[in-house]
Amino acid sequence: MSTKIPDSELVKRVIYMTLKEHGIVRTQEELAELVEDSLKRLDSKFEITPQRARKLALEIAGLELGVETKKGSGDLPDECPACSGELFATVSNNLRGERVMIGVHCRRCAYEADLKQFAPRRYEFRLLKKSGPTAAPA
């Protein structure tokens, strides 16, 4: 059976409605599953991957992405593994009062990592409480 790729705007609307209904979705796999269920009611050939659902979720105003990290191997990522945004150094003063880099963080989403725990383990999606009907994508 052939599959169909749903339009980005449609997916964003469905993600928004899904989060409105569920409040919080705790993994990108769960998000994709819920969204795909709704999409299949419109067209049974629609399919969406967890990665695409997460990328589109990031474009929704009033949506917050939480990232839980685990121990990573190799070097710190160059860009945010969650949203591909720019990463900034997190600095702190050590015991001798020197400024040292203790990790990296993203200003676009909630990704925050220290020098060991930087691989994304789990993504969490929720709507910000403040977001009213005006934040809904048209």
Binding segment for Zn ion among 27-35, 36-44, 76-84, 95-103 (CB under 5 A)? 76-84
Contact status, residue 109 vs residue 83, Cβ threshold 8 Å: yes
Residue with Cβ nearer Zn ion (39 or 82): 82
DSSP secondary structure string for all residues of 19-47: HHHHSEE--HHHHHHHHHHHHHHH-TTB-
User: Residue from 31, 39, 104, 109 that binds Zn ion (CB under 5 A)?
Assistant: 109
Verify binding: residue 108, Zn ion, rule CB under 5 A: yes
> Which tokens sit at 33?
């599953």
- In angstroms, how far is CA 94 from the centroid of its own chain? 32
Verify binding: residue 106, Zn ion, rule CB under 5 A: yes
For 64, the 3-state DSSP assignment is strand
Verify binding: residue 80, Zn ion, rule CB under 5 A: yes
Residue with Cβ nearer Zn ion (16 or 123): 123
Verify binding: residue 63, Zn ion, rule CB under 5 A: no
